[in-house]
């Protein structure tokens, strides 16, 4: 069953009531308070431009345990070469703009609409969203951003303008020692090759509430 959120109250239904695809609710807004409540309960927005705001909570979550991230021999050479410079939270807005241009392979157009960009930028200014930047020669060539919920980094999107730049960003995030879990939301071959695994919603919520 898909629920319609009330306009005058910031609430969500029990995530366990999501349909088999994880679709839980529609409506509401992207205010800071609503987004924080969503992420605290394992819920995230995902919708295309001109569509209503849709909220998801998958029954299984794709995650990476930072100390179990897989780094191939070729990636180790890239990292050890020092060809990339890395930073945290130095260009959040640039990262999200680049992610919006890339979009997702399985969805036409961009799901990171102007409204989404402004919402996550507001979260960033409040300390709830963070980015990793990958640079070469002073130029931003890759990165990722996501929402920070305690020891969990809820990854939203990544981009790469040079080969291996986004992988380098993810590895840097895993090696930072800041998080117990990297939430990747939905699986793909790229993430699975780097050690991502599927866990139940219940286990995921335990991390969020731990």
Instruction: Name every residue whose Cβ is closer than 8 Å to that of residue 202 and which is 6 or more positions away in sequence.
Output: none
**DSSP states of 106-123 as a string?**
TSSS-SS-HHHHHHHHHH
pLDDT score, position 112: 87
User: Of 8 and 3, which is predicted with more confidence?
Assistant: 3
Give tens-digit pLDDT for 40-50. 999 999 988 78
Question: pTM here?
Answer: 0.93
Class at the top of the CATH hierarchy for domain 62-209? alpha beta
Cβ atoms < 10 Å from Cβ of 34: 21
pLDDT score, position 107: 46
pLDDT score, position 36: 98
pLDDT score, position 109: 44
Give tens-digit pLDDT for 173-188. 999 999 999 999 988 8
Domain boundaries, the chain: 3-59, 62-209
pLDDT-above-70 percentage for the chain: 96
User: Of 69 and 210, which is predicted with more confidence?
Assistant: 69
Give tens-digit pLDDT for 91-144. 999 999 999 987 544 444 457 889 999 999 999 999 999 999 999 999 999 999
User: Of 7 and 131, which is predicted with more confidence?
Assistant: 131
Which CATH architecture group holds 3-59? 2-Layer Sandwich (3.30)
Q: Is the pLDDT of residue 27 over 90?
A: yes
pLDDT score, position 101: 87
Rounded to the nearest integer, the mean pLDDT of the chain is: 93
Dihedral over Cα of 163, 170, 40, 203: its sign: positive
pLDDT score, position 103: 52
Helix (H) or strand (E) holding 171, with range, is helix 165-175
**Do 85 and 123 contact (CB within 8 A), yes or no?**
no
């Amino acid at each position: 069953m898909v629920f319609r959120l009330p306009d005058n109250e910031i609430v969500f239904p029990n995530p366990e009531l999501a349909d088999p695809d994880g679709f839980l609710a529609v409506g509401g807004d992207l205010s800071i308070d609503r987004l924080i409540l969503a992420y605290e309960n394992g819920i995230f927005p995902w919708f295309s431009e001109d569509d209503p705001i849709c909220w998801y909570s998958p029954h299984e979550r794709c995650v990476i345990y930072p100390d179990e991230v897989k780094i191939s021999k070729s990636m180790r050479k890239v990292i050890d070469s020092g060809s990339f410079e890395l930073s945290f939270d130095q260009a959040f807005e640039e990262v999200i703009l680049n992610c919006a241009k890339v979009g997702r392979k399985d969805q036409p157009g961009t799901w990171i609409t102007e409204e989404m960009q402004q919402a996550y930028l507001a979260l960033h200014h409040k300390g709830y969203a963070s980015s990793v930047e990958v640079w070469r020669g002073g130029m931003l060539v890759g990165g990722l951003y996501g929402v920070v919920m305690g020891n969990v980094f809820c990854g939203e999107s990544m981009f790469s303008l040079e080969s291996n730049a986004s992988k380098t960003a993810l590895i840097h995030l895993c090696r930072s020692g800041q998080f117990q879990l990297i939430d990747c939301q939905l699986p793909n071959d790229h993430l699975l090759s780097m050690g991502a695994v599927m866990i139940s919603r219940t286990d995921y919520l335990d991390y969020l509430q731990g």
